[in-house]
Amino acid sequence: AGRGWGHGKGLAFGAIAPQAAATDAFVVPEGYEWSPIIRWGDPILPGGRAFDITRQTPEQQAKQFGYNVDYLDILPADPGDVRPRGKTKRGRRGLLVSNHEYTNAGIMFDDSYDAATRRAIERAAWGLSVVEVTRDREGTPWTYSRLSRFNRRITVDTEFHVDGPAAGSYLMRTVEDPTGTRVRGTLNNCAGGTTPWGTVVSGEENYNANFRVSGKDPRDARYGLQNKATSYGWELDDPRFDGNNPGYEYENHRFGWIVEVDPYEPDEAPVKHTALGRFKHEGANVILSKRGHAVAYMGDDERFDYVYKFVSAERMRPGNSRWARRHNKTLLSSGDLYVARFTGDSPASEIDGSGAVPSDGGFDGTGEWIALVKDGESQVDGMTLEEVLVFTRLAADAVGATKMDRPEDVEPHPLTGRVYVACTNNSDRGKEGKEGATEPNPRNSNRDGHVVEIIEDGGDQTATTFTWNLLLVAGDPSVNDSTYFSGFPADKVSPISCPDNLAFDADGNLWISTDGQPSTIQKCDGLFKVTLDGPRRGNVEQFLSVPRDAETCGPVIDSRDAMVYVNVQHPGEDGTFAAQNSFFPDYLDEGERAPAGAWRGPRPSTIQVYREGAGQRPGHGPGKG
Ligand code: FEO
Ligand code: CA
Ligand code: CA
Ligand code: CA
């Protein structure tokens, strides 16, 4: 990048070999080692017991770290020290924030739990956790604090405030909340972002899996909601999960939002921001415009859904006084909402769905941000402001937005302002009755996904026009000739498939974590560094590999400390309780025997990777001295 912040001690590494899909190991490069910071079931609140798979209760789970970890950050002790994630100086005390997207009941419970208890434990394992972490010196591994006034679990029972233009709307009211401003809980918290003012935003993604609806409102179908029993079965326990119950018709409208949590204010209710629209939010990532407006980029993770941008009406106030932070926490409450339209510059005849690069040498073109909401008013014919925000997918359909291949993380580069969109895959592209390949989504049956780079016109994050190109078209180049790495030789990259979460390091490189490689390129998922600048642009180097059946989530790249953090989600999810696929992270060393009666199974965990020898304790994993 060369503009003065490529000064980290750096994370030099030699790319690891891709790991075969059934490998149950967490693999890091030569010269690095790893350990868990915290695992599913570790107690974080007063009264929480040490994890015991045979004695789980809903009450215990609500005092423990939750299940399937997704978004992750470790915020510095002082919110004034928050920087773009690649640059934050984390010091010796921090606040670990993690999403818990969902649960894998099939590997969590033995036969001693009845169905209702299982469901109640599952509900308590969803949501988010905030946990204080400490260490003796920078660049060394963290230990979580079992008791701290900052430790917090947010679950499906935690009260949220609703704000923004749709708060209080008739579309948000239920018999339990006639004000339409207070919602119990958050669901399916997938990816997220850390704001410049030191809060965490988190996306409510596949909430349709938790609700049954009457089927009478055709708008619900656009969100995948159906009048049939859900696989989680929560409608058996709580009437709000079934829209057939009078008074709960609109409960499902109260999910599918971006939520904001202030980890520094443990007693403050988290907020659902209706101004950012309602869809299957993967997450949101906020960058400041030159004039200080908060600009949030967002993806709707569904086949043929859209990329969005929100621009705050107000500007950020500097500093971290209570007054400034209070103001900054309202930035996502009002502003303009846009959806992206991408136009290719090559003739349609050159985009044949094979992924062949068009004759001008790249997948690229221009684009515009089409306003759905501007200056507090709906820009969509026939839809009110509250309808645009509650049924944002329908609003975007109406204005001709570009159907993308499952946009996951949409993340602005903190130095260049360029925006990267991870399109994870779309097996339906080009299928009978479905849209075929377009220049921004150039492969039919797009199994491996691609990454779009957006360059806002004038370098202004609030611009309404942009240019774009594909940074890479993913796959295993040794067996797949439809890959593309910005011209970098395909035989020199690590194979990569199904990009999901994105991050940046202090040298300006992009890092990509993946979700789905075992079923596409038959490799375990992992974390990859991608060079963006210079002659090596497009080079992909694998940094780590996660265990069997797991996806890699929430990467944090700390060049200053030469450390990397990832959340390991759903390890061993295709196993059963009796025949587990993974023993992550509590692997035994060779020749070591598990204590008699000890439970052996996977625990979704937050993992830290550090230079060999940086740990106070040698070896991997907890409980070894
Ligand atoms: Fe929860 Fe889009 O991944
Ligand atoms: Ca082109
Ligand atoms: Ca994801
Ligand atoms: Ca995913």
| pLDDT given for residue 127 in this prediction | 98
The Å distance, Cα 390 to ligand 2 centre, comes to 36
494: confidence class by pLDDT, cuts 50, 70, 90: very high
Report d(CA 279, CA 333) in Å as an integer: 17
pLDDT beyond 60 at 4: no
- Our answer on whether the CB atom of 305 is closer than 6 Å to any ligand 1 atom is no
pLDDT of residue 615: 80
State how far the Cα of 387 lies from the Cα of 217, in Å rounded to an integer: 13
C-beta separation of 462 from 311 below 8 A: yes
Q: Is the pLDDT reported for residue 7 higher than 70?
A: no
Residue 57, pLDDT above cutoff 60: yes
Ligand 1 atom nearest 408 alpha carbon: 2
**Ligand 1 proximity of 204 Cβ (cutoff 6 Å):** no
The helix/strand/coil state of 478 is coil
Backbone angles phi, psi at 326, to 5 degrees: -60, -45
Closest ligand 1 atom to Cα of 206: 1
Q: What is the mean pLDDT of residues 506-510?
A: 94
Beta carbon of 302 within 6 Å of any ligand 1 atom: no
Atom of ligand 1 nearest to the CA of 101: 1
pLDDT at 258 over 70: yes
Q: What is the pLDDT of residues 175-189, one digit of tens each?
A: 999 999 999 999 999
State the DSSP string of 394-446: HHHHHTTPPPEE-EEEEEE-TTT--EEEEE--BTTTTSTTS---BTTB-BTTB
Element (H, E) at 473: strand 465-473
- Across residues 596-618, what is the average pLDDT? 87
Measured from the alpha carbon of residue 301, the closest ligand is 1
Residue nearest to atom 1 of ligand 1 (CA): 190
Confidence of residue 9 (pLDDT cuts 50, 70, 90): low
Q: How far apart are the CA of 318 and the centre of ligand 1, in A?
A: 33
Q: How far away, in angstroms, is 408 Cα from ligand 4 center?
A: 7
Task: State the distance from the centre of ligand 1 to the C-alpha of 417, rounded, in angstroms.
Answer: 24
pTM: 0.96
Q: Which residues contact 144 (CB under 8 A, 6 or more apart)?
A: 37, 38, 42, 44, 96, 131, 132, 133
**Nearest ligand to the CA atom of 516:** 4
- Measured in Å, residue 148 CA sits from the centre of ligand 2 at 54
Task: Indicate whether residue 101 lines ligand 1 (CB < 6 A).
Answer: yes
Look at residue 405 and tell me whether its pLDDT is greater than 50.
yes
Q: What is the model's pLDDT at position 617? A: 53
Ligand 1 center from residue 113 Cα (angstroms): 29
**Higher-scoring residue by pLDDT: 274, 84:** 274
Task: Supply the pLDDT for residue 380.
Answer: 98
Instruction: Indicate the SS3 state at residue 489.
Output: coil
The answer to whether 393 and 223 are in contact (CB under 8 A) is yes
Exposure letters 557-581 (e unless 16+ CB within 10 A, then b): bbbbbbbbbbbbbbbbbebeeeebb
The ipTM assigned to this model is: 0.96
Q: Is the CB of 205 under 6 A from ligand 1?
A: yes
pLDDT tens-digit series, residues 434-485:
999 999 999 999 999 999 999 999 999 999 999 999 999 999 999 999 999 9
Nearest atom in ligand 1 to the alpha carbon of residue 190 is 1
Mean pLDDT value of segment 301-325: 95
Ligand 2 centroid distance, CA of 366 (Å): 10
User: Over the chain, what is the mean pLDDT?
Assistant: 95
- Flag whether pLDDT at 618 surpasses 70: no
Percent of residues, the chain, with pLDDT higher than 90: 92
Query: Is the pLDDT reported for residue 88 higher than 90?
Result: no
pLDDT at position 616 is 57
Ligand 1 contacts CB of residue 286 (under 6 A): no
Work out the average pLDDT over 492-513.
Answer: 97
C-beta separation of 174 from 254 below 8 A = yes
Distance 475 CA to ligand 2 centre (A): 20
**Closest by Cα among 523, 511, 518, 514 to 564:** 511
pLDDT of residue 590: 86
Q: Which ligand is nearest to the CA of 361?
A: 2
- Look at 248 and 599; give whichever has higher pLDDT: 248
**Residue 82 is encoded by which pair of tokens?**
């928050």
Give dist(CA 193, CA 213) in Å, integer: 31
Residue 70's pLDDT band (cuts 50, 70, 90) = very high
**Ligand 3 centroid from CA 527, angstroms:** 13
- Per-residue confidence at 620, pLDDT binned at 50, 70, 90? very low
Say whether pLDDT at 85 is over 90: no
The response to whether residue 408 sits with its C-beta less than 6 Å from ligand 1 reads yes
Sign of CA dihedral 458, 464, 470, 472: positive
Task: Locate the ligand 1 atom nearest the alpha carbon of residue 299 and give its number.
Answer: 2
Q: Counting beta carbons within 10 angstroms of the beta carbon of residue 399, is it exposed (0 to 12), middle (13 to 18) or buried (19 or more)? A: middle
